[in-house]
């Protein structure tokens, strides 16, 4: 029977694949919000960002294209934020506070998953990375996912705490750029560290696998 080794795409290839979706789902709405805040005020900024997200979805539906999960999740979150902010009389504080609270909840979920014996990083890897079940049963690999879960708990909680402090101390006009810079720095650091750990584990603990067991 043929044997194969596990191999992940290079980070550059993954980045080329993911970057257009990140730009469409997050960066363009942010830019429109910032421009709208200057030109139209809080309500116009909120509606401009929301309009772009729904237009992106409608364009893909019209062309019968696949709807990226990131776009759907970002639009759902943006919709909830926008509705609550508009109900709160165009409150930018409410609009900006919600993502930070959601990030804090995510960090708590990563942290809680470790003592429960079901590290969240392992679940995400099972969902998105084509690896055989036997890979996840290795003790060293399970330890790896515990470390990665703790890493993302730290990243998420630091992200939430830092952005809330920025929100409390910065003017709303400067907050979007400052928050994006802080969140991007922490997130990229977390991605680099967890990717390095994961790839190192693949190299150290990889064994030949039957072709029937590979995906």
Residues 85, 90: Cα–Cα separation, whole Å: 5
What count of residues does the chain have?
Answer: 215
Q: pLDDT tens digits for 55-111? A: 999 998 998 887 776 677 678 778 877 887 888 776 777 777 878 887 888 788 888
CB count in 10 Å sphere of residue 121 = 23
* pLDDT for 3: 45
* pLDDT for 69: 63
Rounded percentage of the chain residues whose pLDDT exceeds 90: 8
Mean pLDDT score across all residues of the chain: 77
* pLDDT for 5: 52
Question: Which has the closest alpha carbon to 10: 184, 144, 199, 207?
Answer: 199
Host domain of residue 34: 3-213
* pLDDT for 13: 60
Residues 96, 38: Cα–Cα separation, whole Å: 16
Q: Given a cut of 60, is residue 178 above it in pLDDT?
A: yes
Q: pLDDT tens digits for 183-211? A: 888 888 887 888 777 777 666 655 444 44
User: How many domains are there within the chain?
Assistant: 1
* pLDDT for 172: 59
* pLDDT for 14: 58
Residues 34, 31: Cα–Cα separation, whole Å: 5
Question: Which has the closest alpha carbon to 27: 43, 49, 60?
Answer: 49
Range among 15-19, 47-51, 92-96, 126-130 rated most confident: 47-51
* pLDDT for 195: 76
Average pLDDT score over residue span 36-60: 89
């Amino acid at each position: 029977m043929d044997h194969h080794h596990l191999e992940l795409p290079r980070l550059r290839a993954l980045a080329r694949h993911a970057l257009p979706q990140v730009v469409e789902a997050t960066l363009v709405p942010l830019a429109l919000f910032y421009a709208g805040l200057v030109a139209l005020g809080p309500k116009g900024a909120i509606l401009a960002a929301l309009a772009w997200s729904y237009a992106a979805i409608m364009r893909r539906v019209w062309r019968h294209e696949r709807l990226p999960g990131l776009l759907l999740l970002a639009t759902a979150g943006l919709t909830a934020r926008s509705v609550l902010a508009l109900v709160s009389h165009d409150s930018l504080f409410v609009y900006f506070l919600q993502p930070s609270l959601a990030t804090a909840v995510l960090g708590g979920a990563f942290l809680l998953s470790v003592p429960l014996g079901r590290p969240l990083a392992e679940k995400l890897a099972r969902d998105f990375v084509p690896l055989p079940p036997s890979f996840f049963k290795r003790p060293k690999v399970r330890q790896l996912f515990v470390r990665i879960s703790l890493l993302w708990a730290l990243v998420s909680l630091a992200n939430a705490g830092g952005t809330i402090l920025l929100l409390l101390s910065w003017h709303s006009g400067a907050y979007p750029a400052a928050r994006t810079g802080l969140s991007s720095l922490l997130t990229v650091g977390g991605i680099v560290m967890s990717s390095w750990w994961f790839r190192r584990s693949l190299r150290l603990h990889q064994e030949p696998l039957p072709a029937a067991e590979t995906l």
